[in-house]
Structure 1
Amino acid sequence: MSSLVAEAVQAELGAYEPWPDNACLYQPYQVEQITFPDYANCLSVKTFLHMCGLEFHTEVRTNAEEMSPSGKVPFIHVGAFLVSELDPIIAFVNTRGFQLSRDLDEGMKSEMRAYMALIENVMVNAELYLAWIDEAVSEEITKPRYGYIHPWPLNRLLPWQKQSNVRARLNSVGWAKKTMDEVCDEVKTCCQALAERLDSKQYFFGDKPTELDALVFGHLYTILTTRLPVSRFAEIVQQFSNLTAFCTRVEENFYKKYGRDF
């Protein structure tokens, strides 16, 4: 709770300062170290900042997770403030006068938040399940990447500890004992809901992106482009042509057009 209060105070104080030229986003090394659930979170935040038109540069650190005020990546360093994870970063950025959903009425904002909660409750848990619970992905990809920077025996112990923590989190919400088929059913239901909401629109609430668009892109693009021993999530997303077209559109409009790296 104290961490949430601190972040709220940081956001309140941040309203009195302009966005600096040297804003920085911290994340683990992308090629060797980052796990794909963390990559999805980092990509969501980057996309949100790009959609707001805010300048920042990315710093990679082997100990980014330990540096983060919440112990999770990514986090941003803006002036005197450190803020981690998408929701607190959105709140912080809003205090600076940048709000993607400012044109939505209260009903639409409530709907947007409901879809963002759906991503958190389904996609995030599914990604954690695939990364840490599925044996093939965990042993071949996630654990070696998570332990990459550490010498033996830490490169074995720390991934095991992280896996235990993830299992406890998933167990608390009833996901740890799901079968892969059940998890895939959850992912498909989530994608169906997103596809129906998007329909033929450019973005989820019309012709301008909102926070939901940044969040969805971060997770779906990661699922579509990450090479894993198990490809069932990507195969599910590919069944929804408007979702894959949406990912291509966001990639073009906020990355390729400006020569930005992911």
Structure 2
Amino acid sequence: MQTSQYLNQMHTADKLSEEPWPEDATLYQVKSIHKTNVSIAYIEFPFHIRQPFEAEQILLPENASCLAVKAYLKMCNLPFGIRSCANAEHMSPGGRMTKLPFIRAGAFIFAEFEPIVNFVEQKEMAIGSFLDEDAKADMRTYVSLVENIFTMAELYISFKNERVYKEVTAPRNGIVFPWPLSMMQNYSKRNNALRLLKVYQWNDLDIDDVIEKVSKCCETLEYKLKESPDTPFFYGEMPCELDAIAFGHLFSILTTRLPNMALAQTVQKFKHLVSFCRFIDEKYFQTRCLQD
């Protein structure tokens, strides 16, 4: 079912490729983790992100996905606003992992990072056009690696670690729903997360296995970043989608306070990646959540 929804989004993006950028394009999310964004519930721009409520409701995997899309749109220099909705996940047409964020463009909806990127690329407004075909293929391999490893690790720590689940995940996920709907929502959300972890063969891992996978992914990213030591982005002087998705996940992991900080402590060991996150934050967001 998820694969079918994903392919439908790709087909829709192709159909829209020759139409002008829609003035009513809208992006949905839930509320953010970071206090700097608490006031942002709805901003009127031509383009909106739909997401959960940031300050009260959003979970680590969703926050990373939403931040990656925001970073990408900022790098593309596309104006956008944010609509935070308690039921953003249920409004989404679906996706491979978090279902969020999603954008509405006219009568069409696109959910998650890659379909949104593909939609922007069809409009010829995307970053990364400076890359040749070989470099693009290489870059997309990194994007897939980052999305799979970090999203699974974020889901694992949020739903498999009992302390994190009881103290953070369940209270945040259920906060916008009255009892007993909040309990039903938490039960359903956790089951879906555990099912996804099982599909990707992460369900039976212990925390040390998860940390090892995250560490290897960080090593790969840092090695790639070091290939161009005098440039700020992964592929030189200009950003591409890898910069956006890597920032979204790394920055969210580094700045999200959890009872178990194993993921953040792992990422912190890679100083070049931390510096990269600080640079992207300063250039596009100015939250200054990462101190020297």
Q: TM-score, normalised by structure 1?
A: 0.94
> Which letter does structure 2 place at the counterpart of 1:253?
K
Q: Please state if 1:214 is matched with 2:244.
A: yes
Residue equivalent to 1:260: none
| Ranges in structure 2 where 5+ consecutive residues have no aligned partner | 24-44, 288-292
Q: Distance in 2 between matches of 1:255 and 1:120?
A: 21
Deviation at 1:253, TM superposition (A): 1.1
Residue equivalent to 2:87: 63
For 1:1-262, list aligned pairs within 5 A: 1-19=3-21, 20=23, 22-70=46-94, 72-199=99-226, 200=229, 201-256=231-286
Q: Distance in 1 between matches of 2:178 and 2:212?
A: 39
Q: Distance in 2 between matches of 1:123 and 1:7?
A: 23
* CA offset digits 1:228-250 (Å, max 9, x no partner): 00111111111111101100111
Q: Distance in 2 between matches of 1:243 and 1:183?
A: 19
Q: Distance in 2 between matches of 1:173 and 1:81?
A: 29
> Which letter does structure 1 place at the counterpart of 2:248?
G
Task: Give yes or no for contact 1:22–1:78 (8 Å, CA) kept in 2.
Answer: no
> Which letter does structure 2 place at the counterpart of 1:52?
C
> Which letter does structure 2 place at the counterpart of 1:36?
L
Q: Distance in 1 between matches of 2:7 and 2:216?
A: 35
Which protein has the bigger helix share? 1
Q: Distance in 2 between matches of 1:137 and 1:93?
A: 36
When residues 223 and 13 of structure 1 are mapped into structure 2, their CA distance, relative to the original with a 3 A threshold, is same
> Which letter does structure 1 place at the counterpart of 2:173?
Y
Q: Distance in 2 between matches of 1:14 and 1:23?
A: 16
Task: Give yes or no for contact 1:12–1:95 (8 Å, CA) kept in 2.
Answer: yes
Deviation at 1:12, TM superposition (A): 2.1
Q: Distance in 2 between matches of 1:166 and 1:2?
A: 19
SS at 2:110's partner residue?
strand
Residue range with higher mean Cα deviation, 9-18 or 150-159: 9-18
- List structure 1 runs of 4+ shifted beyond 6 angstroms: none
* CA offset digits 1:144-174 (Å, max 9, x no partner): 1111111111211211221111112111222
Deviation at 1:225, TM superposition (A): 0.4
Aligned residues: 257
Q: TM-score, normalised by structure 2?
A: 0.84
Task: Give yes or no for contact 1:118–1:190 (8 Å, CA) kept in 2.
Answer: yes
When residues 126 and 2 of structure 1 are mapped into structure 2, their CA distance, relative to the original with a 3 A threshold, is closer
SS at 2:176's partner residue?
coil
Q: Looking at both structures, which has the greater relative contact order when contacts are Cα pairs under 8 Å and sequence separation is at least 6?
A: 1
> Which letter does structure 2 place at the counterpart of 1:132?
F
When residues 3 and 196 of structure 1 are mapped into structure 2, their CA distance, relative to the original with a 3 A threshold, is same
> Which letter does structure 2 place at the counterpart of 1:61?
C
Task: Give yes or no for contact 2:147–2:245 (8 Å, CA) kept in 1.
Answer: no
> Which letter does structure 1 place at the counterpart of 2:82?
T
Q: Distance in 2 between matches of 1:118 and 1:83?
A: 21
* CA offset digits 1:70-116 (Å, max 9, x no partner): 16110012233211111100110011112211111122111111111
Task: Give yes or no for contact 1:27–1:60 (8 Å, CA) kept in 2.
Answer: yes
Q: Distance in 2 between matches of 1:180 and 1:218?
A: 22
| Ranges in structure 1 where 5+ consecutive residues have no aligned partner | 258-262
Q: Distance in 2 between matches of 1:244 and 1:74?
A: 24
